[in-house]
Chains A and B, each alone.
Chain A
Amino acid sequence: MLPIFSHILFVLALSPLLLGVIGKTKAFFAGRWGPPLLQPWYDIAKLFRKGVVYSTTTSWVFKLTPVVVMATALASCIFVPWGSIAPPVYFWGDALLFIYLYGLMRFFLIIGALDTGSSFEGMGASREAAFSCLSEIVLFMDFILLVMVSKSLVLCNMLNTGFFSSWLSMGPVLVLVAVSFFLVMLVENSRIPIDDPNTHLELTMIHEVMVLDHSGYDLGLILWGSYIKLFVLGSVLVSLFVPAHLSPLTGVTFFLCGMGVLGITIGVVESVMARLRLNRVPHLLIGAFVLATLGFIVILLKGA
């Protein structure tokens, strides 16, 4: 049990920090000081001190949603390695469970949003459902490639590609996987250029509009859950670049630096480009799918 708890504590503690890094990077590009690095932490602390307001039209589904979001986020994190710290739980096929945990999270976010009966949240739910159809395919395609490279269906083995061995032979494929996974990660976490987490314009939102009616610690749970989701999906990406067989300390340091670089990269992407028009988002996802397919063809030609 102890490794599981320490794994969960690690992600609970560090996931808000990634958002802090993104915020600081964006502030730097805007020529501002920006909010403190620990601001996401303060936000969560603030929300957990507040009470909750429930609309009379909502049912138990709405109340269950924040719990499910947090639970699935935490459950997903025990399958990913932090650098050279192996995940506490792994088994044959856990990669599928990993993907579907996020499917469950999304399902509850969507029905929780529909439960409010608000037209805004209905729009957000329909957008989320439409885009996730496409992003899930890309996510699967990326995982299929990793399975083919690593010959394993265990998530931590798939990610533990061994930087020097696999990258030398399978470099192009892994680059394609990394790029398309990065795009999926932006879509899944509602970042610019797909969604703008900072906007106050309900009509343009995707993720934010679905949680408009949540308040207090419920909102805190959802917020924290989405921080964890970004952190875990980010760690999947970073793990691809962590060399195998490092000492625990160097491995973790390498991993944390990688996460820092990831935060800065997301911040830079969000600073140098405007948000896409909503009906262009599928084009981006199709692009990501094409990249993954290209990797697939390379593997077929090369013979993994």
Chain B
Amino acid sequence: MSFERFYVHNGQAWALAQVPVLDEVSFRREILESCAAAGRLVSLFAHGPKDKNICIYAVVGMDHEGRLSVFSMQVPAGKTGFESLTPVLPQAHLFEREIAEQSGLQPQGHPWPKPVRRHQNYSFYQIHSEEVHEVAVGPVHAGIIEPGHFRFQCHGEEVLNLEIQLGYQHRGIEKMMEEISLERAVLVAESVAGDTVIGHTSAFCSNIEALSDTQVPLQAEMIRAMALELERLANHVGDLGALSTDIGFLPVSAYYGRLRGEFLNLSMELCGSRFGRSLCRPGGVLFSLDEGMIDDFRRRLLKAKKDFTDVAELFFSTPSVLSRLESTGRISRQAVEQLGLVGLTARACGHERDVRTDYASGMFRFHHIPVSTASSGDVYARALVRRLEAQRSIEFLLEALQQIPSGELLNKPSRLKPDSMALSMAEGWRGEIAHVAITDSQSRICRYKIKDPSFNNWMALSLAVRGGQISDFPLCNKSFNLSYAGHDL
């Protein structure tokens, strides 16, 4: 290798010129080599400014070193494709399909060049046989959930293959980010996925802060971390409740549902929105807690902690529940590595992948939350990781309540630096959120790339139900609880 690797940290900005530009062969080799050496594709996207050639950027994360390597490849004018990485590096499959859709560059040799979001007249994978039947579910579902289409090939009750078709929620968020003012952009960031408001907004804010050299006040860092954990708590508890609803264990589901409300109400007290809207703004936060509220928070958290411990104990010790969860929807450790799965899906297979630890930023540089893992990779493991993480988030919140720093809440960000690039990651409750921003010579954002953990993990759902019972699909689906909006953008 004849170039010097360029490493960055989570929440850092750098001049665009610093990013090494490689030719196609060495770009490809660099990705393969670093992924072979315990690296993982965090982001891979194309950027095509109007008057220049298309450039493909790759961000490879070295989870154990806490470093991110950034490099790029200039696609020569007139070239319409590049050699696909997917046959040797399966985790690139969706990134490459996205590049093909967004920039028109075709990954040559891609085994499954299916559109990601805009699909017309796509013919699904089919098994032609007298004995195999096809079941089509969605995009309109029976419950009040987001739209997505699922196509099963079944032999009796056994699922042979599941193909997932998304894109019904595509709102053009990445494009919108390039065209609107920063004041509006933060509102759009809040709407990337309605249940991960804090996760996405804090990643967005951190990018803007890095690009404008804004120092975030300590108090704001703390409030953001607390809000992120509150969001995690509400969603994890809600998901455990949804799992119990799906297996027909109603008393526990009602109890979890009430507890989820408790955590949402704490968010409401903090910022006036149960889902954490209008809390994070570039440069800091808009709200904080005063003395009286801190006491109130502590009292309510202690109560919720006791309730959660009780109900989780009941849920995880009921034999009929365990028999339903265990060995349902199993994914292997190997699949996690090959597909680059993130978040609690990866942790439920024994991978210690957690942005809060691996790429700690903000308050998580000072407060370490232990990484929770399970080993079996089934629905039970995913439920267990949720339980452990919820407990640890409550512990963190109780500790943080005693240590909220005083001082400023918001430092107004100045003008963005021109021709720069920034990368911010956050561990949303589903997993790794990665935002990349690039500015042009007029300091405007000219490319904003968002990667929700659902983008990595939808494929895991397909794998989890393969070979399983079709009647277990809703349970598997709920155990991942992936975002349609976050994937579709």
Residues of A within 8 A of B (CB): 26, 29-32, 119-120, 122-123, 126-127, 192-193, 196, 198-204, 270-280
Contact = CB atoms under 8 A, between A and B. Distances in A.
Nearest to B142: A200
Nearest to B244: A274
A51 B164 CA distance: 35
A201 B250 contact: no
Contacts of A270: 248, 250
B251 A277 contact: no
B471 A203 contact: yes
A278 B157 contact: yes
Contact of A273 (B137, B156, B320, B475): B320
Contacts of B156: 126
B142 A202 contact: yes
Contact of B324 (A126, A272, A274): A274
Nearest to A119: B135
A278 B249 CA distance: 15
Given A273-B320, A274-B249, A32 B244 contact: no
A201 B474 contact: yes
Interface in B129-157: 133-137, 142-143, 156-157
B255 interface: yes
Contact of B318 (A123, A199, A274): A274
Contact of B135 (A120, A198, A271, A274): A120
B321 interface: yes
A182 to B, nearest CB: 17
B123 interface: no
A150 B119 CA distance: 68
B250 A122 contact: no
30 contacts: A29-B251, A30-B251, A30-B253, A30-B254, A30-B255, A32-B254, A119-B134, A122-B133, A123-B470, A192-B248, A196-B248, A198-B248, A201-B143, A201-B474, A203-B135, A203-B470, A203-B471, A204-B471, A270-B248, A270-B250, A274-B244, A274-B249, A275-B247, A275-B248, A275-B249, A276-B323, A277-B323, A277-B469, A278-B157, A279-B157
Given A119-B135, A201-B474, A273 B254 contact: no
A31 B255 contact: yes
Contact of B469 (A126, A199, A278): A278
B440 interface: no
B472 interface: yes
Nearest to B328: A277
A144 B470 CA distance: 37
B320 A274 contact: yes
Interface residues of B, number: 34
Majority DSSP secondary structure for residues of B touching A = helix
B137 A275 contact: no
A70 B133 CA distance: 32
Given A203-B135, A279-B157, A271 B251 contact: yes
B246 interface: yes
Contacts of A203: 135, 137, 470-471, 473-474
Most B-side CB within 10 Å, residue of A31, A122, A273:
A273
A208 B318 CA distance: 26
Nearest to B159: A203
A204 B254 contact: no
A193 B320 CA distance: 9
A201 B254 contact: no
A200 B143 contact: yes
A278 B471 contact: yes
Contact of A26 (B143, B246, B250): B250
A37 B471 CA distance: 31
Nearest to B247: A274
A119 B320 contact: no
A133 to B, nearest CB: 15
B320 A201 contact: no
Most A-side CB within 10 Å, residue of B142, B318, B473:
B142
Contacts of A274: 244, 247-249, 318, 320-321, 324
A26 B251 CA distance: 8
A271 B473 CA distance: 23
A113 to B, nearest CB: 14
Interface in B238-259: 244-251, 253-255, 258
A29 B249 CA distance: 11
B67 to A, nearest CB: 44
Nearest to A212: B142
A274 B321 CA distance: 6
Contacts of B328: 277
A211 to B, nearest CB: 14
B283 to A, nearest CB: 44
A117 B471 CA distance: 19
Contacts of B255: 30-31
B389 to A, nearest CB: 23
Contacts of B472: 204, 277-278
Most A-side CB within 10 Å, residue of B136, B245, B249, B474:
B249
Most A-side CB within 10 Å, residue of B253, B320, B474:
B320
Nearest to A26: B250
A152 B472 CA distance: 45
| 6 closest cross-chain pairs (CB), A and B | A275-B248, A30-B254, A274-B249, A201-B474, A196-B248, A274-B247
